[in-house]
Each structure stands twice: as C-alpha cells, then as structure tokens.
Structure 1
Amino acid sequence: MSLSELRVFGRSGTPVSQLTIGTMNFGEGTGGPHGAPTGAEESIRVIHEALDSGITAIDTADVYSQGESEQVVGRALRGRRDDVFLATKFHGQMSANPAHSGNSRRWITQAVEGSLRRLQTDRIDLYQAHRPDYNTDVLETITTLNDLIRQGKILYYGTSVFTPAQLVEAQWLATTNHLIPPLGNQVPYSMLVRGNERDVFPIAQQYGLGVLAYGPLAGGWLSGEFTLEASKAPTRVHSLPGRYDISGPSSERKLHAADALARLADKLELSLVDLSLGFALTHPAISSVIIGPRNSEHLQAYLRAADVRLGEDVLDAIDELVPPGTNFVERDAGAIVPSIEFAELRRR
C-alpha cells in the first residue's frame, strides 16, 4: 500500500489509509464473533505489521473483550501514536451495572476516561456511539461529545449503524444548536449486505461524513465456506442469533448468492477475499474498510486484496447476482430498531 492510496476522512481533511485494522478479535477475553480471541502478543505483532505495511487507521471499542482490546492497542501504539488515526467506541455495557452503558452524558464522561487510560493516549481521533440509544435524547449525546472536543479529549465524533433518520437528526440538532456535528458513521458493507447504498451512503456524501465500512466478508459468508456443496453451514458463534442459520428462505437466497459470487471470483481468477475487498473499496462514499485479521497470514491476504481494482464489467456482474441496495437478512444491517424488533412496541 502506498501513500497515494490514502483517502480523506469525510469533511475533516484528515488522510486515512484505505484499510483500517479492526481489533474486535484482539485480547485474551471473550473474543469476537467467530471463535477464540487472538492473544495479546500476537495481536500486537499483527498491528505492528499492519502499520509497517502502510495502514494508518485502527478501530476498536471499549466493549471488545471488556477493555482488553483497547489495552492491546495502547501497548501496540507506544512510540507510534502520532502516526495513527485512532477510533474507538462507547455504548456497550462495561460491567454488571447497566448504568455503565449507553449514550448518556453520565456514561460518556466516564467511558471516555476509561478508553483514554486503556489506550494510553491523551486524545481519541474518532469517538463513536457504537449503537443508537433509544433511552437517551440525541441532543444530550452530541452536546456531551461536543464538550469532549472542546476539552481536547476527542478530535472528532461519529456514530455506528445509525438509521438514516438518526443521521439527519444528529446533523440538524448540531447545526441548530451551534454544535460541532458528527463526522463519521460506521456501517456494514459487502457484496451480500448492500442496504446502506439506498440511503445511508447518499446521506453521508451529502453531509461530508467519513464512512468506515466493516464486514467486507459479510461475517464469514464470503470466506468461501458457504457453498451449495456444503452439507450445512459452518459452525459459528455470533451475537446475532440465527445469522448463520441457512434454513430460512432469506438465508437460503443469501447462500445461493454467496455461492454464485464464489464462482464469479473463480472465473475472474481472483480469491473471494480479493473480490469482496475490491468491491467494498470501490464505493465512493467509503473512506476506509475495516478488516479483522487474526494473524499475519490473514493480514497479508487483505493487503494483497487491497490492490485489486474491479472494472465496470465486474461490478455489473456482481450487481446481477446481488442487486444494489439488497439486504437478504434484516439483522445484517447491524442495528436493531426496537419499534419493529419487539412485539410489545409494535402493538402499542
């Protein structure tokens, strides 16, 4: 990866690498969605190798392994902090006390201090609300984040998997209350999860939001394991129940699409990782794609794939298999909207 491949993060003017290291799997704790975590020393080696290869952005969260991921990142960045665009998140519950979670002023002011301590830094480049908080007024959240910018504890703030309406609301509230508006939004995006093309990406471009796209392999669906020849889906652990259950009609269509995309990659003499990452990097709204390598071998595969450039004919072929704006399974969008998720709210 060369310096010429840096991209500007939204309207900030800040250059970031086209790939961001995601650290959900790093640390000795509970691990990520697909199995055991990567140990601290191996995680640090992967981070250093990524930085040496030209990656300049790291994304983590306080809730990843209950703070251990941030601790690993903090250790890895000793002596290199100024060279990295460092993003982390708040919202997830950090103890048995449910008050230690959410997007309230009370929790954010505690959470940021914990993240700064674990990351061994005096400021966070991008501080993100990991999920919407339907119990907290959005104005309270963005006012608190605005204050953290004024205090120098964070440089920018953003959101993750906010709905289109929430994105516009946050921009409007910030503007009308003379606050610094959100700068970024983090969303899933892959050849199998394209719903954000409908509205989130146009909104991001309209307001100058930097977009961090995660899940270019669709949570493993584009790893090559999900094929029609397989007798059953690979056994995976994930926080979203049913995500790997292929018995339903929506998942069955998704499986057929994954199989067809794998065959397209073979026809193009590309790996499925090459095709998947090349696709995610192509959309003009995306500032950087988050990758989650567990080891050096995974990292090198991602780095090779980042050099793949897909022509219009290939993008058209992908569109024929998975039309733009398609989400096969609603949960793939990342956010859970209470008003449609829970029957007691739908039927009030």
Structure 2
Amino acid sequence: MTPANWAQWAAEKGGHRRFLTEQPRYSMLSRTIEEAVLPTAQRYGMGVLTYAPLSSGWLSGADPTTKVRARIAAGEFDLSLPANQAKIEAVRELDKVAQEAGMPLTHLALAFVRSHPAVTSVLIGPRTREQLDGLLAAADTELSDDILDRIDEIVAPGTEVNAADNYNATPPALVDKRLRRR
C-alpha cells in the first residue's frame, strides 16, 4: 500500500475526512508521482495542484548551465556529475521536441503537465510580467499522442532524471548541516 493509499484508508477507518487534494512537484524531468500519487488521486477523486512544471528553470528555455539559481539550488552544483549530465541531455532532447512541434520549451512543459488526466491545476510561478504572459500563452496548448510518446522516450514515465531534485527523496537538511543550524 502506498502512503497516499494508506492516508485515505486511515482517514476512512478513523472516521475522519479523507484527503481531497494533493500538491506534488511534477514536470517532464520529475515524473515519480505518476507511479502512485496520480493513480491514487484519480481513484479517490482528489484534486491535484502541481508545482514546478519548469523544473526550477531547467525547462524555461534558458541555458540551465549558466543559471546562478540552479547552482544555488543544487548546493555543490557540478556539471560533471552524471545526474546533471543526464538532465542537461534530457533538456536538450526535450527542446528538440518542442522546436519540431513549433512551440517554446515552456509551452511543451506546461502542456505536458496539464495533459495528465489526474492533474487539476498547475502552479506556474513566474517572476515577471513577461514570464507570466509567456506562460499564459501556453494555456490552450495540447500535445498529440506522438509528442507525448517522444517525451516518454526521453524521460520514462514514473522516473526522475535527478533524484536529488525531489526533496522527498532526501530532504536537503539531512545533507547540508547549515540548514539545521542557526
């Protein structure tokens, strides 16, 4: 039994209200929720409000290797690490898919997240009006099965390109002692 299923079971057995929504991280690079969270949400009719569809800027269309934010978010960000190399390669391949489909990578990323039938809504998190306008332009973008299949070939369903990106895998405070101290 998965934690999501267990939570629903415990609420029912305890006579409590069951969970009605879930707010997981979800993107083309971070797909672990497809394994249990999204099927559980569908099974129980839960709403799913996802966040990080641009994978902390990796799917923004900007070169992720030059972003200061990416270096800070990853701590000892090192481009030579295999997980980062895999991520860079996946982004390059996904960008090719977007270009061939005639859309920006951001539109591909948002449309991918919205295409899952369990996803109710997507938090987009723009920082500027220009970013907001660009992301809102993707609202009506729909992906064909062929495009979705190509995305699946690049990043397999239910997987994570870099497990360190998923805070549920290893909480940052367990790795970096500075986050546990004043």
TM-score with structure 2 length normalisation?
Answer: 0.85
Partner of 1:101: none
AA matched with 1:182? F
Other structure's SS at 2:23 match: strand
For residue 236 of structure 1, report the CA deviation from its aligned partner: 1.0
Aligned-pair identity in percent equals 40
2:90 corresponds in structure 1 to 257
The root-mean-square deviation of aligned C-alpha atoms, in Å, is: 2.2
Which one has the bigger helix percentage? Answer: 2
Q: Distance in 1 between matches of 2:76 and 2:8?
A: 32
- Return closer, same or farther for 1:246/1:295 CA change in 2, 3 Å cut-off: same
Shift of residue 284 of structure 1?
Answer: 0.4
Separation of aligned partners in 1, 2:135 and 2:76: 24
Equivalent residue, structure 2, for 1:167 = 4
> Aligned pair in 2 of structure 1 residues 328, 295: CA closer, same or farther (>3 Å)?
same
Residue 251 (structure 1) shift: 1.4
Measure, in 2, the Cα distance between the counterparts of 1:207 and 1:332: 28
What 5-or-longer segments of structure 1 have no aligned partner? 1-163, 343-348
> AA paired with 2:49?
L
Verify: 1:270 aligned to 2:107, yes or no.
no
Aligned equivalent of 2:179: none
Structure 2 unaligned blocks of 5 or more: 176-182
One-letter code aligned to 2:87 = K
The equivalent of 1:282 in structure 2 is 115
Tell me, yes or no, if the aligned pair for 2:21 and 2:48 is still in contact at 8 Å: yes
Counterpart pick for 1:303 among 127, 136, 140: 136
Do the aligned partners of 1:175 and 1:181 also contact (CA within 8 Å) in 2? yes
Q: Work out the number of aligned pairs and report it.
A: 173
Report the AA paired with residue 81 of structure 2: G
Alignment of 1:1-348 (within 5 A): 165-226=2-63, 232-236=65-69, 240-242=73-75, 244-336=77-169
The whole-number CA distance in structure 1 between the counterparts of 2:59 and 2:164 is 17
2:86 counterpart letter in structure 1: R
Tell me which amino acid in the other structure corresponds to 1:166.
Answer: P
- The one-letter code sitting in structure 2 at the alignment partner of 1:201 is L
Structure with the greater alpha carbon radius of gyration:
1
Q: Residue 2 of structure 2: SS of its match in structure 1?
A: helix
Note if contact 2:32-2:157 (Cα within 8 Å) is conserved in structure 1. Answer: yes
Q: Could you say if the C-alpha distance between residues 207 and 243 of structure 1 is closer, same or farther in structure 2, counting changes exceeding 3 Å?
A: farther
Moved over 4 A (4+): 237-240
* Partner AA of 1:290 in structure 2: L
Query: How many Å apart are 1:247 and its aligned residue?
Result: 2.3
SS of 2:28's equivalent in the other structure is coil
Q: CA deviation at 1:168?
A: 2.2
Higher RCO (C-alpha 8 Å, min separation 6): 2
* d(CA) in 2 for partners of 1:306, 1:241: 30
Which structure shows the higher strand fraction?
Answer: 1
- Please say if residues 245 and 251 of structure 1, whose CA atoms lie closer than 8 Å, have aligned partners that are also in contact: yes
SS across alignment from 2:24: strand
Kept in 1: contact 2:93–2:154 (CA 8 A):
yes
